[in-house]
Structure 1
Amino acid sequence: MDVFSMATPARQQYLDIKSNHPNDILLFRMGDFYETFDDDAKVMAKDLEIALTSREMGKGEKVPLAGIPYHSLNGYLSKLVSKGHRIAICEQTSDPSTSKGIVDREVVRIVTPGTITEDQLLETNINNYLASIVIKDHSVGVSYVDITTTEFLTTEIQIEDLTTEINRINPRELIISKPLPDNISESINSYITLVDEKGYIANNSRKIVEQNFRVASLESFGCDKLTLGIEAAAQIIEYLKTHQRSALRTIPTLKTYSTQPFMSLDQQTSRNLEIFSSGRENSQESSLYSILDKTQTPMGGRLLRKWLGQPLLELDLLEERQKAVEWFIEDPIRRGHIAKILTSISDIERLTTKVKMGTAGPRDLTGLGNSLEVIPDLIAIAGRRTKNKDTFWVLNEFSDNSIPYELIKKSIEPETPPNVGEGRTIKPGFSRTLDLLKQESTKAKANMANIESREREKTGIKSLKIGYNRVFGYYLEVSKSYTSRVPSDYVRRQTLVGGERYITPEMKKYESIILNTSSKIEEIEK
């Protein structure tokens, strides 16, 4: 018998959507939960150690079920991603209260190891790279991006150098269009995603990259002659279009790099030197990186990791770094002041990316503002009493951030809640419209609160109390023993085991004001 003929509308909708994501765990939003069914539910129950139950979703059809609360999504995503799963997040896209029949649903995002942006899923001092390779004969195009820092690079190398380069990059996810030879795939520790692009990218790679960056030529990017490098970059762009499209608009450019200025360290050499891990258990505690890592910011930690994994061979660049180190060593007091300032700087790279993607919360903005606030102090101390002109390149890395800093400080409350919409994020005086809405809301809430004491006195019902929930809104609750005293203008809203809930015309008036202003406040703050 056809399973669709037996299934409920929700089940049919699920099966339709799941058919487009056969290799992903589909989180199907149903009310306050993300539900999974069938084999997905079994995987979820096992890997997340949650209950596996079943639900009837058609005539005689019981299917395995496992669900998680929507507000706990990020915590569970972290566990699923760490186990190498791809997750398709399917949201309700229409209002259940106004929808006729089943609510509309669609997949709004596919979470993969290389496309995550949530802080809880990222490692602070490690780049979260998504890499792509294209192999032709003995040449390989290699491209990689970190969408949380907007770093996007491409190159071409020989196939014998591929495993060394991929292990140096250490991507969380590697996308390929053709299966890799066994000797290569066995040497790569990254999560590998095989994309079925049917030759489209290979035939249109240059156009894809040019259109993404809105340029007429790739000559200024330095990769104009790197056919395979362009194809690898195009493969990343196309992948992000379907998995994290908003990230594309935050990536300003594509850089071409060469492996020639650096020492090549294969995986075995890196392991023997204990650069990032040591001992048989690959512990990071006694590695060279852990010993040298005195960095005070996440950006510094990631940069140190890059430098150690890619030692310089060019003498001029080595001497430039040595002079910068000498500049710090020669003045311990200055070094201490700079280190102290750096401890108050948040992850500016990732915070600015979140702002560009539109995913930054109020506390992200205050963190960014606090970081930008100390930059002038850092520049002043770093530029004071220096005689070594060869270290000015360090100061040149800084730019004028006074405009975004002033905007954040002028607009965002220092003690803002984590989420917008409560009316406690934007400072008074920044938006007159918002200030008027807050005043109107405060007045309506005060009037609503006065109703409780007034109605108690009027009715003589001392246990009468005012309350609110998301389903029924505001109400006056009266216990069963006092319902005989309820005035005629009370309108019943809900019957309880121990009492009744009512609303009055006056309450409806203030409720309308409170809900309307709250909605407008949330809209403005967002």
Structure 2
Amino acid sequence: MAQYTPMIQQYLKIKAQHKDAYLFFRLGDFYEMFFQDALSASQELEITLTSRDGGGEDRIPMCGVPYHSAENYIKQLIEKGFKVAICEQVEDPKDAKGVVRREVVQLITPGTVMEGSMLDEKENNYLASVSEFENGTYTVSYNDLTTGENSIALLSEGFDAVLSELFNRPVKEVVIDSSFDEAKQQMFKDRLGFTVSYSDTTAVDKEFIPLVKDIQKEECIEGFGRLLNYIQTTQKRSLDHLRPVKKIELKKYMSLDMYSKRNLELMETMRKQGKKGSLLSVMDRTMTAMGSRLLKKWMERPLLSSKEILTRHNQVEGLLEHFFEREALREQLKSVYDMERLAGRVAYGNVNARDLIQLKESLTAVPGLLETLHQFNHTAVNHLYEAIDPLSELKALLEESLVDDPPIQISEGGMIQDGCHSQLDEYRDASKNGKQWIAELEARERRETGIKSLKIGYNRVFGYYIEVTKANIAHLPEGRYERKQTLTNAERYITPELKEKEALILEAQEKSVELEYELFIKLREKVKQFVGKLQILAGQVSRIDVLQGFAQLAEEHDYRRPEFNDQRIVDIKQGRHPVVEQVMGSETFVPNDIFMDESNDILLITGPNMSGKSTYMRQLALTSIMAQMGSFVPCEQAELPVFDQIFTRIGAADDLVSGQSTFMVEMLEANHALTHATENSLILLDEIGRGTSTYDGMALAQAIVEHIHEEIRAKTLFSTHYHELTSLEAQLTRLKNIHVKAEEYEGNVVFLHQIQEGAADESYGIHVAKLADLPSSLIDRATRLLQELESTPKEEKSSSEQLSLFVEDEKAKPAAKSSEVETRLKSLDLMQMTPMDAMNELYQMQKKVKQNY
């Protein structure tokens, strides 16, 4: 390093402590990056790469961003999963003896972002840590730095359970110890898309002991300690807003593994991976950001306690019964800002005056909320507001301290109200009177010189000055002013009197701004004392918001209150899929009943593709999840058991990341259900066995059905194209055949989307192919083959004879050269193709055929 300049040496020393982060090194008005950071950042941020002399043989790569617009660049890096270390000058350059001292004041990572512009206001931003212990158990700890929330879960079901748990929440970054298994680390990165960070320190400092007071298990304390130490290392500032750790009692909530969350599209759709089209998009009728975040938490963990579910249903019912009061409530909630994150910013020390005005306006709305809730006159609704503290003292403090429209920057002044502080009032008076004197001087000089364009201006370099245009200089009495600056079209002057007044005005302004800053910091410290109460209030308002959203949803879409039973009876009348119904419109969606009593555990569903089997299966799962969240559900009537787990295998999807085929993914998901399901679970299996040969698939499907029937006895919906399986109804006492009705009309199939008892008569595969617009010659050929196959009883033809139909049919036709489409079709290995690949091939073939006709 000796070859480099002192400043570059300083940079390298600091960079060595933050090797995994981009170092934003403050130089004047810019954050600069050097060496490899500069090469990478110039590409990631699309900014100009330059170079500078640093004392070595070669010039050093360099790029930089202005400090006042750095936030946008930092946001881009964080969204890509990188970390950014902010290195500031921590001494006045005037006092520096040599290189100005610099230190990293904050390490911004995907899981520790606090800046509002980098956050999704409707989603938590979790930092997680995972610790593995010798007995095979894991702890998963969570922290949302923006709200101060802390929680921890203890898992003993292996690493797959850890992946499912982490998939459950919007985690951006995971902290592990440096010796953590590398293959598992790679799963965090590839399968979950996390930024991986390291912390080997697990001891909890004395000041944070209160956070773990309710945690008994040593593993949990150690697991949270790892997370806490990482936060302390990266943030280097007050963490007073952190709340005590809550242990997540997983047995209190419905278990939804990562496959089910993905297949049911709870938070995002599988195809576009966006919120639109998910269950969350349908259910979110909240009016506040913190209410929206709480809704997601309830969806992540539906309840198992009938008592708690009943409480939520009673409150939704009370809110639903009073339309006008609920509308007033929704209007008042619009005035409530994100108190949860505002409280976090207060404690964290990055709150500004406008944030505190938002807090004041939120607190101003609370008494009105309480008054409106009181008007509901409903016992269950009363419990929502009985313990609410409106924090009138804090509201009064903010009202008497801050102006209504303060600037964003707390270093500019103009935040504190007149009358709050006598010394500040004196400074303001001096400044105001001084400016009045300047205005009067300008008017007097114009009068006495006769120069109407004369003006008194100000800039930071020369202070106050008198400006006269060149054309009017001749009219100035000699010696009246002292020349200060010459411009192209004007001259600028000063007078001793003007400079004396300038000193008084500027001193008053400077002292006024300094005093306002001090007063604001004191105000922030006072507000900080209310952080705990603010977090409680935010939680209460969030709950009210979610429940009124449930009531609003029920009102808009005619949802009904579900009932629960202990006899494992599923009885849904005219049930609807909450998402599909809204996409199609309630008038065109066909509702269906679902009935399963104690004598019926498995519904075997047959029917053609595109007829609605998957929709029927999913709507039962979504209805159950909504009911156990506390929401009303889309149907005429619903009676349900409380499901402890839901397992799904719906849709075909290769796991390209881990290199697994559709069939392997299918078997893994099925195995997960068969291994963990209980008789109180719900299992949805769609087309099991289709990823392998017909007889293999049929054998596997039958064995799975039998295993569920005999060993697990969970409520199960099993859809299949293997019509041979319908004979199981005669062998398995608790299995029942149902099918989706379809009819032929003038050679075309019409899907009625109605579920009826019994097995389907036909699969209508060729009709579906026709709907997909396959070439007519191909459809005709398939129809002839089907007629040949069906015309002879199976027992009269061996497998080889059945296959010979294809050969004989070809021999009957005159020999013809295969077309390009036929050649391509014969060469395709359909079992190894993804659905998207198949669709692309089909499109290209259709294009070829259309060109030939």
TM-score normalised by structure 1 residue count: 0.88
Distance, in Å, in 1 between the alignment partners of 2:7 and 2:28 is: 12
1:103 aligns with 2:100: yes
Contact 1:6–1:61 under 8 Å retained in 2: no
1:182 aligns with 2:180: no
Shift of 1:434: 1.5
Q: Which amino acid aligns with 1:433?
A: Q
Q: Which amino acid aligns with 1:368?
A: L
Q: Which amino acid aligns with 1:490?
A: E
Distance, in Å, in 2 between the alignment partners of 1:500 and 1:56 is: 42
Shift of 1:446: 3.0
Distance, in Å, in 1 between the alignment partners of 2:107 and 2:40 is: 17
1:147 aligns with 2:145: yes
Distance, in Å, in 1 between the alignment partners of 2:7 and 2:227 is: 34
Distance, in Å, in 1 between the alignment partners of 2:468 and 2:61 is: 43
Q: 1:170 to 1:488 in 2, by over 3 A?
A: same
Unaligned runs of 5+ residues in structure 2 are 518-853
Shift of 1:479: 7.3
Contact 1:298–1:346 under 8 Å retained in 2: yes
Q: Which of 430, 433, 436 matches 1:446? A: 436
Q: 1:379 to 1:513 in 2, by over 3 A?
A: same
Contact 1:132–1:176 under 8 Å retained in 2: yes
Shift of 1:279: 3.7
Q: 1:514 to 1:140 in 2, by over 3 A?
A: farther
Q: Which residue of 2 aligns with 1:112?
A: 109
What secondary structure does 2:256 align onto?
coil
Q: Which of 369, 372, 386 matches 1:378? A: 369
Q: 1:265 to 1:214 in 2, by over 3 A?
A: closer
Q: Which of 231, 242, 251 matches 2:222? A: 231
For residues 21-65 of structure 1, give each alpha carbon's deviation from its aligned partner in whole angstroms, at most 9, with x where no partner exists: 222111111222111122212222212222112223336642222
Distance, in Å, in 1 between the alignment partners of 2:449 and 2:62 is: 50
Shift of 1:458: 7.2
Q: 1:362 to 1:156 in 2, by over 3 A?
A: same
Shift of 1:401: 1.0
For residues 306-326 of structure 1, give each alpha carbon's deviation from its aligned partner in whole angstroms, at most 9, with x where no partner exists: 011111112111111111111
Shift of 1:444: 2.2
Q: 1:439 to 1:34 in 2, by over 3 A?
A: same
Distance, in Å, in 1 between the alignment partners of 2:323 and 2:127 is: 40
Shift of 1:381: 1.4
After the TM superposition, which of the residue ranges 476-485 and 255-264 deviates more from structure 2?
476-485
Q: Which residue of 2 aligns with 1:283?
A: 274
Q: Which residue of 2 aligns with 1:91?
A: 88
| CA RMSD between the two structures | 2.8
Contact 1:25–1:40 under 8 Å retained in 2: yes
Contact 1:141–1:230 under 8 Å retained in 2: no
Q: 1:524 to 1:303 in 2, by over 3 A?
A: same
1:490 aligns with 2:482: yes
For residues 261-307 of structure 1, give each alpha carbon's deviation from its aligned partner in whole angstroms, at most 9, with x where no partner exists: 11221221101111011142212111000010000001110000001
Shift of 1:11: 2.3
Q: 1:343 to 1:505 in 2, by over 3 A?
A: same
> Aligned runs of 1:62-461 on 2, under 5 Å?
62-137=59-134, 138-158=136-156, 159-160=158-159, 161-178=161-178, 179-183=180-184, 185-186=186-187, 188-197=191-200, 201-202=201-202, 205=203, 207-208=204-205, 211-213=206-208, 215=210, 218=212, 220-221=213-214, 223-224=215-216, 226-388=217-379, 390-396=380-386, 398-452=388-442
1:4 aligns with 2:2: yes
After the TM superposition, which of the residue ranges 494-503 and 181-190 deviates more from structure 2?
494-503
Q: 1:488 to 1:236 in 2, by over 3 A?
A: farther
TM-score normalised by structure 2 residue count: 0.56
Q: 1:509 to 1:114 in 2, by over 3 A?
A: farther
Contact 1:168–1:309 under 8 Å retained in 2: yes
Shift of 1:476: 4.9
Distance, in Å, in 2 between the alignment partners of 1:471 and 1:25 is: 36
After the TM superposition, which of the residue ranges 439-448 and 415-424 deviates more from structure 2?
415-424
What secondary structure does 2:240 align onto?
helix
Contact 2:144–2:150 under 8 Å retained in 1: yes
What secondary structure does 1:312 align onto?
coil
Q: Which residue of 2 aligns with 1:27?
A: 24
Q: Which residue of 1 aligns with 2:592?
A: none
Shift of 1:525: 2.5
Q: Which residue of 2 aligns with 1:518?
A: 509
Q: 1:14 to 1:213 in 2, by over 3 A?
A: closer
Contact 1:171–1:190 under 8 Å retained in 2: no
Distance, in Å, in 1 between the alignment partners of 2:472 and 2:37 is: 52
Instruction: Kindly name which structure, 1 or 2, has the bigger radius of gyration based on alpha carbons.
Output: 2
What secondary structure does 1:130 align onto?
strand
Q: 1:234 to 1:473 in 2, by over 3 A?
A: farther
Task: Give identity over the alignment, percent.
Answer: 36
Q: 1:477 to 1:14 in 2, by over 3 A?
A: farther
After the TM superposition, which of the residue ranges 463-472 and 369-378 deviates more from structure 2?
463-472
Shift of 1:462: 7.5
For residues 91-141 of structure 1, give each alpha carbon's deviation from its aligned partner in whole angstroms, at most 9, with x where no partner exists: 122223454543322211111111111110110110011111111131112
Distance, in Å, in 2 between the alignment partners of 1:39 and 1:473 is: 44
Distance, in Å, in 1 between the alignment partners of 2:67 and 2:123 is: 28
For residues 393-419 of structure 1, give each alpha carbon's deviation from its aligned partner in whole angstroms, at most 9, with x where no partner exists: 321452231011111112211122222
Q: Which amino acid aligns with 1:284?
A: K
Contact 2:173–2:197 under 8 Å retained in 1: no
After the TM superposition, which of the residue ranges 258-267 and 472-481 deviates more from structure 2?
472-481
Distance, in Å, in 2 between the alignment partners of 1:478 and 1:58 is: 50
What secondary structure does 1:4 align onto?
coil
Shift of 1:145: 1.0
Contact 1:240–1:247 under 8 Å retained in 2: no
Contact 2:123–2:292 under 8 Å retained in 1: yes
For residues 221-278 of structure 1, give each alpha carbon's deviation from its aligned partner in whole angstroms, at most 9, with x where no partner exists: 1x12x22211121112211222124352111422222111112212211011110111
For residues 61-104 of structure 1, give each alpha carbon's deviation from its aligned partner in whole angstroms, at most 9, with x where no partner exists: 42222211111122222111101111111112222345454332
Q: Which residue of 1 aligns with 2:564?
A: none
Contact 2:123–2:170 under 8 Å retained in 1: no
